[in-house]
A and B are shown apart, each in its own frame.
Chain A
């Protein structure tokens, strides 16, 4: 049905559309040719008939003379007494032939042709012919009678009949011959005029046909020229569009072949030429991963399927934002971001091609990234500002100094040549200790930005440490982190200075002294850690942290206090839901006691009423380091086992923001060894753990003041 409609529409289109003139001209041409052909045919037949008539009329002339000749032959035979039969028979045949032919000329009918076959003659129609025939008949009637009397007579009567016939023939023969001659001439002239008419018809027909042909040719050429012009115009427009658009435009067929026409921008974007006829693979093969390319091809294949709604699969376009590295004219690679969109192109209702549009969205992506970065920086600055406003400026300044120094030390560690994997492992551990210390300090000061940064830093080192065979290259990412840390410290320092100027405070140039750690700072540290882990903790400070210690001792005390407090909150204290069933109060208690036993000995202990050390877990961890055997550890007392906590790499917790992954306490031990101090642990399962540090006091220039303070708070 549809096809029929389509066909009808096409026919109507042709009849009334731009082809109408050509169709009409061709129809006329055919009609004219057919008419000329038919006339030609008709007249040719008439001419053929006329030719037969002319022949027969000519034969009548001859027959009239043969009759005379036969009568004379017969007369001669009679006189010479020869056999009269042959001339008599010839005369009879001639009479009959002449008579029948004359009758046929007069009223139409069959005559006998020269070869004896019958031939139909039309009755002569022109007046001259009719007159000639009538006159001939008038002579022929008596003549025929006389001649028949001769041929029908018996031997005795023949001579007188013959004499009469010869007498009549002598008077009329010439007239009859002339009349037959007139008839012949008349018929010839009729035939000749018909031939002339035929020539005219042919000439006119052919002339008209030629004119018609030229009209068609003219129309056809004009139309061809017109449509050529339109095609050329359309092509020109397409070319212009493709030359000027900023997007990469091309068509893809089912075989992922790129169309011969595509936008110039495409060549510029991809820094390639002659893309027409090449495949999508050739365009993208070395710019995106094989997997991505194959996903894109699968996506395009979906677009060729008409049972899938193209509007409903846009989200699956894998080339919505693609990062590509394009080689520039200078031979360098430039990173760009392209956005590909795909549209179906239909041809007669079928999906023929996919129109691909490629947009360079580099600017947009870069801007988005910059915005995100700026936002992140702003957030960080606000956070830093908040922490600065909440901190003692001196403490902050001192912390920043510490960071600078640590960065310097880490740099030194990084530069040290180390070839063996053991040396590299040690390098990683040394860096970890430095970073971990900054993390501890930043945590104590509530500088979350530093805490996050150092935590990420630690994670990177952690992955290096995990490797059985670390390589020198593994340390490269640390350089970037280190620089980031340094820059951040610089910006904090700058901000501190600015704030100092703003608030009118002038920061005294610090002499490198560590920031003061009082109950408020330590309590804040405990609360933050507890909050992160869903715990409740109260810190009790008995005595005061000593001030004026020698630098080395001061560092040891700080490291010990920070590490053991963190340890107590994150590993010791249980969550409320664990504590309550054990009959313990919801909030854990952490007690930091500072006592000066004598003028020269200082004792600092950190106690928590938490779960105590899980010695089984500790043993497993120790065995996992490979430095101890299970059998060996089974013989150890709990006292001895607890010393394992000071071994590098031994921890009962995984690496997290509040734990050092087994480095924090080992860092303390290193210092203890060099400072002539001692450290001990006592732990009771389910009851709690106490870390104790004893150290000989070597006072610095300023006198030691012991600030008595007692505080307890719930956090």
Chain B
């Protein structure tokens, strides 16, 4: 089982990810509504996997990715965002995220991406 934190300002998306993630492999340990919350919860729970929205209030996804990677360089971050801005997605990966999933997504796409993301990671 791998611990997962979900970061998204939309309640609906948070719920969707939480519901869709395969419980056989992923254990949702924290839900964050913005970057600041995410950093706090990350320090408290130390999840190995994080799903990250990019546009959020308080602290955006890019900065949040940077902060989380600084705390734990091994963290696997999957950016989940709309494709409106490819450049921001690339920037997030340049700052340390490991993958990108485009909104909207279905259960299969989410679990496929998460499985790919954690490949080679042992709990």
Give the number of chain B interface residues (Cβ < 8 Å).
17
Q: Tell me the B69-104 residues at the A interface (CB within 8 Å).
A: 78, 83, 86-87, 89-90, 93-94, 98-102
Task: For A315, give its contact among B98, B102, B116 (CB under 8 Å).
Answer: B102
Is the CB–CB distance between A312 and B86 below 8 Å? no
Query: With A and B bound together, what is the CA distance between A315 and B86 in angstroms?
Result: 8
Who on chain A is nearest to B88 by CB? Answer: A316
Contacts of B101 in A (CB 8 A): 312, 315
Contacts of B89 in A (CB 8 A): 315-316
Is the CB–CB distance between A316 and B93 below 8 Å? yes
Give the number of chain A interface residues (Cβ < 8 Å).
14
Task: For B100, give its contact among A295, A301, A316, A318 (CB under 8 Å).
Answer: A316
Is the CB–CB distance between A298 and B117 below 8 Å? no
Bitwise, A457-477 to B at CB < 8 A (1) or not (0) is 000000000000000000000
Count how many pairs of residues, one from A and one from B, have CB atoms less than 8 Å apart in the complex: 44
Task: For B87, give its contact among A295, A309, A311, A312 (CB under 8 Å).
Answer: A295
Evaluate whether A302 and B78 lie within 8 angstroms (CB atoms) in the complex, with A309-B119, A312-B113, A316-B100 already known. no
Closest-CB distance, A647 to chain B (whole angstroms): 42
Is the CB–CB distance between B93 and A308 below 8 Å? yes
Evaluate whether A295 and B117 lie within 8 angstroms (CB atoms) in the complex, with A308-B99, A315-B102 already known. no
Bitwise, B42-69 to A at CB < 8 A (1) or not (0) is 0000000000000000000000000000
Is the CB–CB distance between B86 and A318 below 8 Å? yes
Query: With A and B bound together, what is the CA distance between A315 and B105 in angstroms?
Result: 12
Is the CB–CB distance between A312 and B116 below 8 Å? yes
Contacts of B90 in A (CB 8 A): 295, 298-299, 302, 316, 318
Contacts of A308 in B (CB 8 A): 93, 98-99
Is the CB–CB distance between B102 and A307 below 8 Å? no
Is the CB–CB distance between B116 and A311 below 8 Å? yes
Contacts of A315 in B (CB 8 A): 83, 89, 100-102
Contacts of A313 in B (CB 8 A): 93, 99-100
Closest-CB distance, A697 to chain B (whole angstroms): 60
Query: With A and B bound together, what is the CA distance between A309 and B113 in angstroms?
Result: 9
Query: With A and B bound together, what is the CA distance between A313 and B101 in angstroms?
Result: 8
Is the CB–CB distance between A312 and B94 below 8 Å? no
Query: With A and B bound together, what is the CA distance between A22 and B41 in angstroms?
Result: 66
Query: With A and B bound together, what is the CA distance between A307 and B116 in angstroms?
Result: 12
Q: Tell me the B8-50 residues at the A interface (CB within 8 Å).
A: none
Query: With A and B bound together, what is the CA distance between A311 and B114 in angstroms?
Result: 11
Query: With A and B bound together, what is the CA distance between A295 and B94 in angstroms?
Result: 12
Bitwise, A300-330 to B at CB < 8 A (1) or not (0) is 0110000111011101101000000000000
Query: With A and B bound together, what is the CA distance between A387 and B98 in angstroms?
Result: 55
Query: With A and B bound together, what is the CA distance between A301 and B86 in angstroms?
Result: 15
Contacts of A316 in B (CB 8 A): 86, 89-90, 93, 100
Who on chain B is nearest to A317 by CB? Answer: B86
| Residue from the set A295, A301, A315, A318 with the largest chain B CB neighbour count within 10 Å | A315
Is the CB–CB distance between A298 and B94 below 8 Å? yes
Closest-CB distance, B112 to chain A (whole angstroms): 9
Query: With A and B bound together, what is the CA distance between A295 and B101 in angstroms?
Result: 18
Is the CB–CB distance between A302 and B94 below 8 Å? yes
Who on chain A is nearest to B85 by CB? Answer: A316
Closest-CB distance, A299 to chain B (whole angstroms): 6
Is the CB–CB distance between A295 and B86 below 8 Å? yes
Contacts of B116 in A (CB 8 A): 309, 311-312
Contacts of A298 in B (CB 8 A): 90, 94
Is the CB–CB distance between B99 and A309 below 8 Å? yes
Closest-CB distance, A296 to chain B (whole angstroms): 10
Query: With A and B bound together, what is the CA distance between A307 and B98 in angstroms?
Result: 7
Who on chain B is nearest to A320 by CB? Answer: B86
Q: Tell me the A257-315 residues at the B interface (CB within 8 Å).
A: 295, 298-299, 301-302, 307-309, 311-313, 315
Contacts of A318 in B (CB 8 A): 86, 90
Contacts of B99 in A (CB 8 A): 308-309, 311-313
Who on chain A is nearest to B113 by CB? Answer: A312
| Residue from the set B94, B102, B119 with the largest chain A CB neighbour count within 10 Å | B94
Is the CB–CB distance between A312 and B117 below 8 Å? yes
Contacts of B83 in A (CB 8 A): 315
Q: Tell me the A364-416 residues at the B interface (CB within 8 Å).
A: none
Contacts of B102 in A (CB 8 A): 315
Query: With A and B bound together, what is the CA distance between A307 and B117 in angstroms?
Result: 10
Who on chain A is nearest to B99 by CB? Answer: A312
Query: With A and B bound together, what is the CA distance between A327 and B101 in angstroms?
Result: 37
Contacts of B87 in A (CB 8 A): 295
Contacts of B78 in A (CB 8 A): 312
Query: With A and B bound together, what is the CA distance between A423 and B25 in angstroms?
Result: 72
Contacts of B119 in A (CB 8 A): 309
Who on chain A is nearest to B92 by CB? Answer: A316
Query: With A and B bound together, what is the CA distance between A311 and B117 in angstroms?
Result: 9
Who on chain B is nearest to A298 by CB? Answer: B90
Query: With A and B bound together, what is the CA distance between A309 and B115 in angstroms?
Result: 11
| Residue from the set B83, B87, B101 with the largest chain A CB neighbour count within 10 Å | B87
Query: With A and B bound together, what is the CA distance between A298 and B113 in angstroms?
Result: 22
Contacts of B117 in A (CB 8 A): 309, 312
Evaluate whether A309 and B93 lie within 8 angstroms (CB atoms) in the complex, with A315-B83, A318-B86 already known. no
Closest-CB distance, A572 to chain B (whole angstroms): 40
Closest-CB distance, A33 to chain B (whole angstroms): 53
| Residue from the set B78, B89, B93, B101 with the largest chain A CB neighbour count within 10 Å | B93
- A interface residues (Cβ-Cβ under 8 A, vs B): 295, 298-299, 301-302, 307-309, 311-313, 315-316, 318
9 tightest A-B CB contacts, nearest first: A312-B99, A315-B102, A316-B89, A309-B99, A298-B90, A309-B116, A311-B116, A318-B86, A302-B93
Q: A315-B89, A316-B93 are in contact. List 14 more A-B contacts (CB 8 A).
A: A295-B90, A298-B94, A302-B94, A307-B98, A308-B99, A309-B117, A311-B99, A312-B113, A312-B117, A313-B99, A316-B89, A316-B100, A318-B86, A318-B90
**Could you show 5 A-B contacts with beta carbons less than 8 Å apart?**
A295-B86, A312-B78, A316-B89, A316-B90, A318-B86
